[in-house]
Amino acid sequence: MKLAIASGKGGTGKTTVALCLALSADGPVRLLDCDVEEPNCHLFLKPQIRQYDAVTLPVPMVDAAKCDGCGECRRLCQSNAIALLKGKAVVFPELCHSCGGCAKICPTGAIHEVEREIGFVEQGASNSVEFVTGSLNVGQPVAPAVIRAVKRHAASTGLTILDCPPGTSCAMVASVRDADHVLLVTEPTPFGLHDLKLAVATVRELGRSFSVVINRADAGDGRVVEYCRTESIPVRLQIPEDRRIAEAYSRGESVLPVTPGLREDFRQLLAEVTR
């Protein structure tokens, strides 16, 4: 069972919910931090890291002696990663999406692929939680490749929880696209509702089963609840606005002990979505 925690709007509490679920689960659980541009689950779990693997992508390398400047590679490239300058193909690897097409189409065999490091994946454990996290190197634009590398560590049996990146762009889609269920965490504000609608449209397009968690539930107004009722989207849990939760979070601690009954709420939620 892959349970993805996504949101649309950033800062709604994805990490809080993902951690609470992982720490409330009864059986073995694996937590994947897919927010590779700003991973943060490790700050709370403080895991023992036992494995580090670089993530690489194949990018083209041009042999200038063989390149006759025909421009086939440049016309094929949808990422604008190749320019024809002074009659030679010049590669800008940071823009490459590694489709491999340029190397295949080159009539003179001037292009071969080399591996380029763009990030890394770490594996470890913290008490009962098996933990995997990915990190995209600063300045690299292709997050989905690192996310896919993280997701290769999803458990084949049992529960895997994915803490996903915010937004509804490629990184979020790469994270949630094969989830068995997506929990969309939102807040009862106009911004939360606006981005929730985008996230709902995205997971519907992807054909995912999904439901909603409202965080800081009494901070705003009732429009998120109203929207979910109109759209027949289940609201699984409403987490109260509570300064003690924010304080525990800011100290890098679990927020479960702060609010009586919270652990039981998350157990109940897990039971519902994994049924």
Partner 1 sequence: MKIAVTSSGATLDAPVDPRFGRAAWFVVVEVATGAFTVHDNTQNLNAAQGAGIQTAETVSRLGVEVVITGHCGPKAFRALQVAGIQAVTGATGTVREAIERFQKGEVKQATSADVEGHWA
Judged by the rule CB under 8 A, the positions of this chain that interact with partner 1 are 74, 79-81, 83-86, 90, 92, 94-95, 141
Q: Smallest distance from the beta carbon of 55 to partner 1, in angstroms?
A: 20
Q: Smallest distance from the beta carbon of 89 to partner 1, in angstroms?
A: 11
Q: Smallest distance from the beta carbon of 71 to partner 1, in angstroms?
A: 10
Q: Smallest distance from the beta carbon of 116 to partner 1, in angstroms?
A: 15
Q: How far is CA 30 from CA 21, 26, 45, in A?
A: 11, 12, 12
Whose Cβ is closer to partner 1: residue 137's or residue 209's? 137
Q: Smallest distance from the beta carbon of 94 to partner 1, in angstroms?
A: 7
Whose Cβ is closer to partner 1: residue 61's or residue 95's? 95
Whose Cβ is closer to partner 1: residue 18's or residue 89's? 89
Whose Cβ is closer to partner 1: residue 74's or residue 208's? 74
Helices 190-205 & 223-230 angle (0-180, nearest 10): 20
Whose Cβ is closer to partner 1: residue 91's or residue 182's? 91
- The dihedral region occupied by 11, where left means phi > 0, alpha psi between -120 and 50, and beta the remainder, is left
3 beta partners: 161, 181
Q: Smallest distance from the beta carbon of 206 to partner 1, in angstroms?
A: 22
Q: How far is CA 153 from CA 92, 121, 150, 171, 212, in A?
A: 31, 10, 6, 17, 26
Whose Cβ is closer to partner 1: residue 27's or residue 87's? 87
Contacts with 214 (C-beta within 8 Å, 6 or more apart), sequence order? 185, 186, 187, 188, 224, 225, 235, 237, 238, 239
34-61 in b/e form (b: 16+ CB < 10 A) is bbbbebebbebbebeeeeeeebbbebbe
